[in-house]
């Protein structure tokens, strides 16, 4: 099940409800320690030195609880109550080059500006260049607003406890949070909080996609049309088509510009490639349509833009619009209830909403709501760190997978194609299934990148395409 994204007050409410049924805080702290230690062990090697900075509150208790499980590591615990004294100790310990710093100075309860001595200690931690694992929240960061309280630890990884805190997902928090992982198995009672903001987990897709019927054939699994590629941008068409192939629809037809037909067709083997563009009537022969990747040639005719608008308004098939096609979409309602999806990055979203990119990033959930309302209550995947998936009403899902290595030209084309390949299949076309397929495509795209990054520091989109769909 997705996790609710909660406030500090809601986390406190959850804790109090847990203590009320007789579960002790000590048992929860012990479970937190086990989880934190597992994360530290995954990021260090035997005999590595780990410096643990433990404050006087429960955040420090969580840090101290991890020590017993740091098997094979050299753990040094510094209990920090006086930042001036701690600064001298930290300098000595940092000179010994620990492989990891565990930040347990301040937890989610911090809601006031830090004194100058604490700011100096945090600055020294950040300047050390040593990777930091933050417990629950990077010390100094407001877990509700995502703003530093004068200063905040810049973590490589934040292991937050119970459920994601709203401030950790703010764009302003990203430089401090680093990668965000959530530990749910702490012995707390089931979360009593309800929220329109949900954190997507791998467990949400257990048994998904479902097994294919044994008697299925090409016609069973749909026929995707892709309108993509133009002079100077033909690679986007290839990437979208190959991404679609990884979703295994029955058939894929790619319509591309005549002047790039040869290089596009030469790179695709299981995709039917046609030069030119289809008519609106032609597209009724397909079960879904992707339009936009690589259609950036300024010489493209007005006819293609008009076709895009007509398809968006009227075609009774799922339609995914990406890249250049986003600028050709008509505002307002469509004439069909069939699934509509757009997949903008923040710059494209800003252009569609006629606001600065900073405004989009300042409130990404609100931007998704606005985009969806503008384009007929369509479904939106606002790409970027923690891609947001949703529409103008209902729950919004924040994606938990992915990393900065996805920031490569063509990554979005792969995603658009993969999503189209899923939605072309009739089993994914009823509205609840289509929305789940969209969430799955986003999660799978990011999870595949995480898998590749765990194996190597650098990888290409070719490798992404080979592995896409296999993350679990």
The predicted-structure confidence for 365-416, as pLDDT tens digits, reads as follows: 999 999 999 999 999 999 999 999 999 999 999 999 999 999 999 999 999 9
Contact 420, 226 (CB under 8 A): yes
Residue written as tokens 């300024």? 298
- In degrees and rounded to multiples of 5, residue 452 shows phi and psi of -65, -40
Is the link from the previous residue into 221 a cis peptide, with omega within 30 of 0? Answer: no
Q: How far apart are the first and last CA of the chain?
A: 15
Q: Kindly report the CATH class assigned to 218-467.
A: alpha beta
Q: Which pLDDT band, with edges at 50, 70 and 90, does 472 fall under?
A: confident
Determine the Cα–Cα distance for residues 47 and 227; give it in Å rounded to an integer: 55
| Burial of 296: CB neighbours in 10 Å, binned 0-12, 13-18, 19+ | middle
What is the pairing mode between strands 388-390 and 379-382? antiparallel
Superfamily of domain 3-194: YjeF N-terminal domain (3.40.50.10260)
pLDDT at residue 153 in the model: 98
E runs forming strands in 80-195: 100-104, 132-135, 157-161, 179-183
Q: What is the mean pLDDT of residues 433-461?
A: 97
- Considering only CA atoms, give the Rg of the chain: 24
Q: Give the Å distances, CA to CA, from 383 to 275, 312, 341, 388.
A: 30, 21, 13, 7
> Above 90 in pLDDT, residue 111?
no
Nearest CA to 425 among 412, 440, 446?
440
Determine the Cα–Cα distance for residues 236 and 200; give it in Å rounded to an integer: 28
Other CB atoms within a 10 A radius of the CB of residue 459 amount to: 18
Q: Which runs of consecutive H residues, i.e. helices, occur in 69-127?
A: 83-94, 116-127
Residue 282, CA atoms < 13 Å, CB-side half-sphere: 14
Beta bridge partners, 198, equal 4, 397
Is the link from the previous residue into 120 a cis peptide, with omega within 30 of 0? Answer: no
For 5-44, give the DSSP string: PB-HHHHHHHHHHHHHTT--HHHHHHHHHHHHHHHHHHTS
pLDDT at residue 298 in the model: 83
Residue pLDDT, tens place only, 370-381: 999 999 999 999
- pTM of the shown model: 0.96
Q: What is the mean pLDDT of residues 132-155?
A: 98
Determine the Cα–Cα distance for residues 171 and 177; give it in Å rounded to an integer: 10
Q: Which runs of consecutive H residues, i.e. helices, occur in 280-345?
A: 302-314
Beta bridge partners, 199, equal 3, 398
Q: Which pLDDT band, with edges at 50, 70 and 90, does 125 fall under?
A: very high
User: pLDDT over 70 for what percent of the chain?
Assistant: 100
> Above 80 in pLDDT, residue 139?
yes
Q: What is the mean pLDDT of residues 76-95?
A: 95
Helix/strand/coil for 144: coil
Q: What is the mean pLDDT of residues 249-273?
A: 97
Residue pLDDT, tens place only, 144-165: 999 999 999 999 999 999 999 9
User: pLDDT over 90 for what percent of the chain?
Assistant: 97
Q: What is the mean pLDDT of residues 228-252?
A: 97
Q: Give the Å distances, CA to CA, from 13 to 101, 111, 185.
A: 30, 17, 18
Q: Which pLDDT band, with edges at 50, 70 and 90, does 124 fall under?
A: very high
Residue written as tokens 């600065």? 356
Q: What is the mean pLDDT of residues 94-117?
A: 96
Residue pLDDT, tens place only, 28-49: 999 999 999 999 999 999 999 9
Q: Which pLDDT band, with edges at 50, 70 and 90, does 2 fall under?
A: confident
Contact 445, 322 (CB under 8 A): no
Q: Which pLDDT band, with edges at 50, 70 and 90, does 299 fall under?
A: confident
Domain boundaries, the chain: 3-194, 218-467
> Above 90 in pLDDT, residue 140?
yes
Q: Give the Å distances, CA to CA, from 60 to 23, 105, 145, 192, 399.
A: 20, 6, 22, 26, 29
């Amino acid at each position: 099940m997705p996790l609710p994204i909660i406030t500090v007050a809601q986390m406190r409410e959850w804790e109090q409800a847990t203590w009320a049924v007789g579960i002790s805080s000590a048992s929860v702290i012990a479970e937190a320690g086990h989880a934190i230690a597992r994360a530290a062990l995954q990021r260090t090697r035997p005999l590595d030195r780990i410096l643990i900075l433990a404050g006087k509150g429960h955040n420090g208790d969580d840090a101290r609880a991890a020590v017993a499980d740091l098997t094979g590591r050299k753990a040094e615990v510094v209990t920090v109550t006086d930042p001036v004294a701690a600064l001298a100790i930290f300098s000595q310990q940092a000179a010994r080059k620990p492989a990891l710093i565990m930040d347990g100075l301040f937890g989610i309860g911090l809601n006031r500006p830090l004194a100058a001595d604490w700011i100096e200690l945090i600055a020294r931690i950040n300047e050390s260049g040593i990777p930091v694992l933050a417990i629950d929240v990077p010390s100094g960061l407001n877990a509700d607003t995502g703003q530093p309280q004068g200063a905040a630890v810049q973590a490589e990884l934040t292991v937050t406890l119970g459920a994601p805190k709203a401030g950790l997902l703010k764009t302003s928090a990203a430089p401090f949070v680093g990668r965000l992982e959530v530990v749910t198995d702490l012995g707390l009672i089931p979360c009593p909080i309800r929220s329109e903001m949900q954190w997507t987990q791998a467990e949400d897709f257990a048994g998904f996609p479902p097994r294919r019927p044994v008697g299925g054939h090409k016609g069973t699994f749909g026929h995707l049309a892709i309108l993509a590629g133009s002079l100077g941008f033909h690679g986007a068409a290839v990437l979208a088509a190959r991404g679609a192939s990884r979703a295994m629809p029955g058939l894929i037809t790619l319509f591309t510009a005549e002047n790039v037909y040869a290089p596009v067709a030469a790179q695709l083997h299981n995709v039917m490639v046609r030069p030119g563009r289809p008519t609106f009537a032609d597209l009724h022969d397909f079960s879904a349509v992707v339009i936009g990747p690589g259609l950036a040639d300024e010489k493209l005719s007005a006819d293609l833009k008009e076709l895009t608008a007509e398809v968006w308004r009227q075609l009774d098939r799922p339609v995914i619009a990406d890249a250049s096609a986003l600028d050709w979409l008509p505002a307002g309602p469509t004439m069909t209830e069939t699934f509509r999806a757009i997949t903008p990055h923040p710059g494209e979203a800003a252009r569609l909403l006629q606001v600065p990119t900073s405004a989009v990033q300042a409130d990404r959930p609100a931007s998704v709501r606005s985009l969806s309302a503008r384009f007929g209550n369509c479904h939106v995947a606002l790409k970027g760190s923690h891609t947001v998936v949703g529409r103008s009403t209902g729950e919004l899902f924040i994606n938990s997978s992915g990393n900065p290595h996805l920031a490569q030209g063509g990554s979005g084309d792969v995603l658009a194609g993969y999503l189209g390949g899923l939605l072309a299949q009739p089993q994914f076309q009823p509205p609840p299934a289509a929305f789940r397929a969209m969430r799955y495509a986003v999660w799978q795209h990011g999870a595949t990148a995480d898998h590749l990054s765990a194996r190597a520091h650098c990888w290409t989109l070719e490798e992404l395409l080979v592995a896409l769909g296999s993350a679990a």
